Structure 1
Amino acid sequence: MAAPLVDADYRKEIGMARRDLRALIYSKQCAPIMLCLGWHNAGTYDAKMKTGGSNGSIRSGVELKHSANAGLEIAVGFCKEVKSKHPKITYADLYHLACIVAVEVTGGPSIDFVLGRKDSLESPEEGCLPDARQGAKHLRDVFYRMGLSDKDIVALSGGHTLGNAHKERSRFESLPWTTDPLKFDNSYFV
């Protein structure tokens, strides 16, 4: 699919989708899974090959079934509700926007949103996302593939301030990462 025409109408549609996402995330208390959707959609990026990344491919049946994406069909379903009201918006922009709104709704910083991502259904192979059970070398290999540094890895880990571990999704015990899994703050690092 070609990149969307980013004109005044598209920008207006993004603004309306942002409001709908804000209401949905607040009412369903689904900020953690929306943050996870945005990260897992973007986390397949390969800096050398210039492939993967925030392109909406996570909605494909193949990629959604990757073990790291267990449970994300919930977030994809929530986004379908918003997409049905705003069909002009690409899935790539919608998933990225949902992630940003999730951070904002939970008290995190306001994040600039650069729109105009194009959709793809080309899924990467299984194993592109980090698996904490494989240790530090694996985590570095995955993040370095994305072009990130050790400092970036630490900063991104702070996203775990939102949400709980769900044994059926991550295979980690069902515990909150922090005392308030719906508040974006520095407590994960503490």
Structure 2
Amino acid sequence: YDVVSKTGGPFGTMRFPAELAHGANNGLNIAVRLLEPIKEQFPILTYADFYQLAGVVAVEVTGGPEIPFHPGREDKPEPPVEGRLPDATKGSDHLRDVFGHMGLSDQDIVALSGGHTLGRCHKERSGFEGAWTSNPLIFDNSYFKELLSGEKEDLLQLPSDKALLTDPVFRPLVEKYAADEDAFFADYTEAHLKLSELGFAEA
């Protein structure tokens, strides 16, 4: 989503080959394929709502916060232009630029980075390999704890993760979330909800 041009947003376009071909979406086709049989059971839901609901459910069933979900997104035929997602090899200025164009704050950037508590990178898709935490199937504040404890051979820290430690605004938020999981969950909920409704809340 771009807050200036009011284009892009959560409108179900990630299922289209043009968006799946974006470099930042490498491997996303697997998730889209796995979700399709479930989507077929709920034809009343738009793809746009379904994908957002899937994200909300994934966070909740892995132990994370309950994120409000508001249906009503329309499916759109045209994916956004490539280049609106963050580049993991870059630093804090890049993060602010990318997320700022979406209308998201510094707090949102750090809270959403905590979503790396789930999942892992695959070298053949991103050039990076490994999980950020020792239990990548649990949503908790361990991403921030691991970030502060330094690099470990078996865990991943992307350049964009490390940038959170060197930035004078980002680092206090990392420290806050590492010490207080409830604070992380509250801010993550707010940021996830905001992200899931970009361009939809105003529609």
Match of 1:47 in 2: 3
For residues 84-113 of structure 1, what are the alpha-carbon distances to aligned partners after superposition, in whole Å with 9 as ceiling and x for unaligned? 111121000000000000001100011111
Match of 2:46 in 1: 90
Superposed CA RMSD in Å reads 1.0
Match of 1:81 in 2: 37
The residue type paired with residue 118 of structure 1 is: E
Which one of 114, 125, 132 corresponds to residue 81 of structure 2?
Answer: 125
Distance 2:125 2:51 in 1: 19
Match of 1:16 in 2: none
Shift of 1:121: 2.2
Match of 2:140 in 1: 185
Match of 1:106 in 2: 62
Report whether the alignment pairs 1:167 with 2:131.
no
| TM-score normalised over the length of structure 1 | 0.74
Q: Matched residue of 2:131: which SS?
A: coil
5+ unaligned residues in a row in structure 2: which ranges? 146-203
For residues 25-82 of structure 1, what are the alpha-carbon distances to aligned partners after superposition, in whole Å with 9 as ceiling and x for unaligned? xxxxxxxxxxxxxxxxxxxx11122211110011111001101001111111122111
5+ unaligned residues in a row in structure 1: which ranges? 1-44
Q: Matched residue of 2:57: which SS?
A: helix
| TM-score normalised over the length of structure 2 | 0.69
**4+ aligned runs moved over 6 Å, structure 1:** none
Is residue 132–residue 139 contact of structure 1 (8 Å, CA) maintained in 2? Answer: no
Shift of 1:135: 2.2
The residue type paired with residue 160 of structure 1 is: H
Q: Number of aligned pairs?
A: 145
Distance 2:124 2:92 in 1: 23
